[in-house]
């Protein structure tokens, strides 16, 4: 799963990025509206964390522009405490949720998980398929109750497949949601990660659909 952090305050941007990476997400960052607009226009995101007070292009303008362009990624808006009109304008402009500054990082991550869960059609917090459980809150994976140790990239692949367990996911889509923008991408590594996940989580968990991609076994 891949998220974009749009925040112009350097230390807060770094804190948000570290927290998101620790939660198992691939993370891109933008410190102004112009950069954020370019990234959203060229890269796919599973969620966006957006500060409204940005240099270049303000957050409300970005929100309206993205929604008018058909960008469906859920957006979590960061607002100044007490600015109720910003919250109203943000939601009316297309935001899915908001957090008031100052905030606890745990709340931001919880709201981010909830947005991604709702966007992918999952009501339950813990994802399950067969004997495999994946808890996005802790990034823990178990197989028949036994903990499974995954690398960060293996976890992202499994998490994406489990969030989109109702359809076939192509290798290109996995690559797009597995790596941050500045990471050297190689679609051949997807086969490696899939093979490792089959060894660790069961040979029949992930099915190959020839010419199309991968899906979780029914």
Domain borders along the chain are 2-119, 127-216
The number of beta carbons lying within 10 Å of the beta carbon of residue 21 is 14
Q: How far is the C-alpha of 74 from the C-alpha of 96, rounded, in Å?
A: 6
- Rounded to the nearest 10 degrees, what angle do helices 59-68 and 33-42 cross at? 20
Express each pLDDT in 18-73 by its tens digit.
Answer: 999 999 999 999 999 999 999 999 999 999 999 998 998 999 999 999 999 999 99
Express each pLDDT in 175-185 by its tens digit.
Answer: 999 988 766 66
Q: How far is the C-alpha of 30 from the C-alpha of 4, rounded, in Å?
A: 8
Cα separation values, 69 from 17, 37, 97, Å: 26, 11, 20
Which residue bears the tokens 């500054």?
A: 101
Spelled out in words, what is the top-level CATH class assigned to the domain 2-119? Answer: alpha beta
Express each pLDDT in 88-129 by its tens digit.
Answer: 888 889 999 999 888 999 999 999 999 999 999 998 999 999
Express each pLDDT in 148-177 by its tens digit.
Answer: 999 999 999 999 999 999 999 999 999 999
Q: Mean pLDDT over all residues of the chain?
A: 93
Instruction: Look up residue 84 and give its two tokens.
Output: 């109720």
Q: How far is the C-alpha of 117 from the C-alpha of 46, rounded, in Å?
A: 10
Q: CATH topology for 127-216?
A: Arc Repressor Mutant, subunit A (1.10.10)
pTM for the whole structure: 0.90
Q: How far is the C-alpha of 217 from the C-alpha of 93, rounded, in Å?
A: 39
Total residues belonging to the chain: 218
Q: Is the pLDDT score of 86 beyond 90?
A: no
């Amino acid at each position: 799963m891949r998220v974009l952090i749009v925040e112009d305050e350097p230390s807060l941007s770094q804190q948000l990025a570290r927290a998101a990476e620790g939660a198992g997400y691939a993370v891109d960052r933008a410190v102004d509206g112009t950069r954020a607009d370019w990234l959203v226009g060229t890269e796919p995101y599973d969620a966006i964390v957006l500060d409204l007070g940005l240099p270049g292009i303000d957050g409300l303008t970005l929100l309206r522009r993205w929604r008018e362009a058909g960008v469906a990624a859920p957006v979590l808006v960061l607002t100044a405490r007490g600015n109720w009109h910003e919250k109203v304008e943000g939601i009316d402009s297309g935001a899915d949720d908001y957090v008031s500054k100052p905030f606890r990082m745990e709340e931001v991550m919880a709201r981010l998980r909830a947005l991604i869960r709702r966007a992918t059609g999952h009501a339950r917090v813990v994802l399950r398929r067969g004997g495999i459980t994946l808890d996005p809150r802790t990034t823990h994976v178990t197989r028949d109750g036994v903990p499974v140790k995954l690398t960060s990239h293996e976890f992202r692949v499994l998490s994406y497949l489990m969030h989109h367990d109702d359809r076939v996911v192509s290798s290109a889509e996995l690559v797009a949601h597995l790596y941050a923008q500045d990471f050297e991408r190689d679609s051949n590594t997807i086969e490696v990660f899939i093979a490792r996940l089959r060894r660790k989580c069961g040979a029949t968990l992930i099915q190959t659909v020839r010419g199309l991609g991968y899906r979780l076994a029914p």
